[in-house]
Amino acid sequence: MMTNQHNRAIYRRWAPFYDRLSDLVFARGRERAMALCDLQPGERVLVVGVGTGADLPLLPRGVRAVGVDLSPDMLARARSKLPLPGREVELIQGDAEDPPVPHGTFDAALLNLILTVVPDGARCLAATLDRLKPGGRAVVFDKFVADGAAPGLFRRALGVGVAWFGTDINRRFGDLVAGLGCLVERDEPSLLGGAYRVIVLRKRG
């Protein structure tokens, strides 16, 4: 069910009102993720699953950003937010599991609400880390089942229905990051009593 074709169709429908939902529900989590990313002037940041560009106005001045998203409808909304004074932003249509950007060239990456949307969250995270320079950092804001816990029967059943809306509520972050060349520097609870988390990763040098 979680396929790129399905997600294109779903996010074509989400695009017209996604910003309102994001501002209402996710603004605090996005702001915290951006703060922990600690972007500095001159740095390059990869925004994976940029969507309608809800993160773009939060970018500090002096940074250069590349946003990648599968959905042309979401990207059209993101382009309507440009230009942003003092920030250089390029938007590219592409698969978050294999972003069409050079390897090893970004100082930082933002993965807000994308690892539970793509068909293969582990592949998406691995590809993002591959695009970072050694020592680069990635910040994740998303919802996960607690590591070491198994979703209950009700949550599994609910997850089947929720997947039709383009997201998976039953992924564990520990499963996605296992075996990757990175350190978890910070993992803090965010929205809904910690159902959403903000996680800072550092790519090994």
DSSP string, 84-95: BTTBEEEEEE--
Residue identified by tokens 């995270």 is: 125
Q: Give the separation between CA 132 and CA 128, rounded to whole angstroms.
A: 7
CATH class of the structural domain 4-203: alpha beta
Residue 113 · residue 26 · CB < 8 Å:
yes
100, two tokens:
């069409």
Residue 7's pLDDT band (cuts 50, 70, 90): confident
pLDDT of residue 149: 75
Nearest to 121 by CA among 48, 204, 188: 48
Q: Is the peptide bond before 119 cis (omega within 30 degrees of 0)?
A: no
Range scoring the smallest mean pLDDT among 18-32, 155-169, 170-184? 155-169
Q: What is the DSSP letter of 114?
A: -
Strand 182-189 and strand 64-69: the pairing is: unpaired
Domains of the chain, residue spans: 4-203
Q: Which residue has the higher pLDDT, 205 or 149?
A: 205
| Phi and psi, residue 192, nearest 5° | 55, 50
Q: Return the DSSP state at 181.
A: S
Whether the model pTM is above 0.75? yes
Write the pLDDT tens digit of every residue in 100-143. 999 999 999 999 999 999 999 999 999 999 999 999 999 999 99
pLDDT, tens digit, for every residue of 17-74?
778 877 889 999 999 999 999 999 999 999 999 999 999 999 999 999 999 999 999 9
pLDDT at position 153 is 64
